[in-house]
């Protein structure tokens, strides 16, 4: 009889972790789904800040030309974030002259493509 009750306790002990384990997995899966849904429904900004665009362009120019100083770029205060939007920024040269930069938004995330135009 003692032997049978020992087996019974072992079965109860094993079953005792199954229920809480399943509940924990379901709760973790639900939390993961909520985080995924909230992350995917996050809206991107509707406007692109001119200072952010100028910084991106300045960093891109610095990387292209390998200069030690970051070029001075100014852009309009804000532009709508939309694929295909075009606007102009200005590249201010150290000698006081400036050049236009044609900027095109390549997607709805605010990614940019730019071309430095001839001096004014």
Q: What are the pLDDT digits (tens) for 34-91? A: 877 776 655 666 888 899 999 999 999 888 887 777 889 999 998 888 889 999 999 9
Check whether 4 has a pLDDT greater than 70.
Answer: no
pLDDT value, residue 34: 81
Residue 106 structure tokens: 């390549």
Give the global pTM: 0.59
CA 88 to chain centre: 24
Enumerate the domain spans of the chain.
1-42, 47-119
């Amino acid at each position: 009889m003692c032997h049978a009750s020992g087996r019974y306790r072992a079965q109860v002990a094993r079953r005792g972790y199954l229920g809480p384990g399943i509940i924990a997995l379901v709760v973790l899966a639900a939390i993961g789904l909520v985080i995924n849904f909230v992350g995917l429904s996050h809206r991107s900004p509707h406007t692109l800040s001119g200072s952010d665009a100028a910084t991106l362009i300045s960093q891109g120019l610095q990387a292209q030309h390998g200069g030690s100083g970051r070029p001075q770029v100014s852009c309009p205060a804000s532009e709508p974030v939309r694929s295909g939007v075009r606007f102009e920024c200005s590249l201010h040269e150290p000698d006081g002259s400036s050049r236009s930069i044609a900027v095109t938004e390549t997607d709805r995330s605010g990614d940019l493509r730019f071309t430095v135009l001839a001096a004014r």
